[in-house]
Structure 1
């Protein structure tokens, strides 16, 4: 009933502004696009696909995304209704329609990315068993050591200027799901101005895998916090931890780094071993290369390189090269 109400409301507006034929053409185009997307997501093996938890989760997220897009569209139409000039009001409606189609395409792209990840990870539910007794001690994984008091400093030359990233393993700890996690302070500066300030929480299991339990992140503009998007704590509102570094990385290994449906869905895949990486701080052999992706931004692909005894030494994303330039110890 809600969908029909929104459709009739839009028809009424477009009759007044541009005539029924114009709106009807756009509506039919949108309906055809959605129908095509639904056929794509279903496919010939839809019945079999929808039986596994991973694919059902993808469909649930797709439905949620589409509902949010439709809600935003309806609010946009409401704002358009209050524009007195007919030509400007019509343009507002057209812009809202275009934005809706972009949003729906994004929903579909995210769905495809989630399904691809299901293919890598399998169809079972994501529910890692966290036993506090299986955690404890220092984080000394050779590819992700966290030495309290040590700061790794990175720099990148971007189109917006010089980005500087300081990552400090603090002496502070946080209890999450009964596990004692090391707190890491990660700050990003652009041309000397702080733009991100994050506290990350990690713990290592007795097998040597390093787990990512959450973060408290702030996006900053002109000294003011403008967003906390990405913040999560495992065990709260369905958030679950993931692995940031395996004990023995092997090419082809794939795993979730975090799982907060619709908020944080980063995943990793090991794509290279024994790499040599040259950065301003030095040359490192036997590096592990990991590809990081997220279903929330399917076109964003990051390649991170981890050196034994150091941790991350270089990150490549869309032509941006973030490199280790300095290490400071207490």
Structure 2
């Protein structure tokens, strides 16, 4: 499963969930929020959100309902697996899998071809005591790299997948310009959120995918449709789940619907509203050879290391990423 960059929607991300027009005002829709037991400008120095790290409680109570009634974040670090095995059928993340999406972005400036390569690394990173799995996304506009991002996911024992943070490096004309939208759960009031519920159902409250006030990140998700059939260049899929996603802090930026196939993950992104109209389709899903996974791990570790220089006060407070699934050197 891959989570597209949230460059246009205040992204992410990562992780990428959507909202029907009738639900924009109410922000109600997807499967209920888990119970406590389950649950962007150039810089060359540290990113924004440079306040000292603040302690995160084991569980949160009386949380704000950022995405409407019933959407409070109920985070409990004890609900997560001791090692990140992400096998949620709508959001599977298996080390060594790589997904490529391709489409167009239409804006007032014209139309741009966009390609995103999503690689599930063999790396883990501990955030607030939870061992997360590291995703590496590379985002290209008209063939030129504009963003290289690490995103961190973990799954609860009941099967909900949470997004714990993102480190998105930005590039212009091939030159690194900074990572001002970095956020990590537990630092500068950033909160982890639900990338995918354990049992998504239509007609249930909206949910927060992550919240990082210092960088203006707040993505809301609502389950919109179930049991659809969708065809994209990669294949045709049955039993497709559609989630609406938007950022209430930036309602004019983008409103998307993302379509997930059971066993594969995200297969399609469509635009519902916003200044930039984006569409992406899955064109390839492949299991990398061990040697390719080794190279993916190496490059992702380099990005992790660079983040300590760029975002010393946020990313730099986290433990280094480690190789859990090594691949091979051959």
Q: CA deviation at 1:238?
A: 1.2
8 A contact 1:153–1:327 mirrored in 2? yes
Alignment-derived partner of residue 292 in structure 1:
245
More helix by share: 1
Compare 309-318 and 205-214 and name the one that shifted more.
Answer: 309-318
Residue 153 in structure 1 maps to residue 100 in structure 2: yes
CA positional deviation for 1:132 = 6.2
Match of 1:323 among 267, 281, 286: 281
Residues of 1 paired with 2:146 and 2:67: CA distance? 34
Of 188, 212, 224, the match for 1:271: 224
Aligned-partner Cα distance in 2 for 1:290–1:141: 15
The answer on whether the counterparts of 2:66 and 2:208 sit within 8 Å (CA) in structure 1 is no
Of 154, 166, 174, which aligns to 1:215?
Answer: 166
| Corresponding residue to 2:256 among 289, 302, 312 | 302
Helix, strand or coil: the match of 1:243? Answer: strand
Mapping of residues 57-206 of structure 1, within 5 Å: 117=66, 119-121=68-70, 126=73, 128-131=75-78, 134-158=81-105, 159-206=110-157
CA distance in 2, matches of 1:320, 1:145: 24
Higher strand share: 2
2-structure distance, mates of 1:323, 1:140: 22
What is the DSSP-based 3-state SS (H/G/I as helix, E as strand, rest coil) of the residue aligned with 2:189?
coil
Moved more, 151-160 or 173-182: 151-160
Count of residue correspondences? 214
Provide, for residues 283-308 of structure 1, a one-character-per-residue CA deviation record: whole Å limited to 9, x for no partner.
11111100001122113211000001
Partner SS for 1:131: helix
Any residues of structure 2 matched to 1:246-285 within 5 Å, and which?
246-253=197-204, 254-262=206-214, 263-285=216-238
Q: 1:116 to 1:242 in 2, by over 3 A?
A: closer
1:76 match: none
RMSD over equivalenced CA pairs, Å: 2.0
Aligned pair in 2 of structure 1 residues 207, 219: CA closer, same or farther (>3 Å)?
same
Verify the 8 A CA contact 1:244 1:257 in the aligned structure 2: yes
Gaps of 5+ in 2: 1-63, 289-330
Task: Verify: 1:313 aligned to 2:262, yes or no.
Answer: no
Normalization by structure 1: what TM-score?
A: 0.61
Task: For residues 167-208 of structure 1, give each alpha carbon's deviation from its aligned partner in whole angstroms, at most 9, with x where no partner exists.
Answer: 000001100011110000011111211011100000011000
The alpha-carbon deviation at position 135 of structure 1 amounts to 4.8
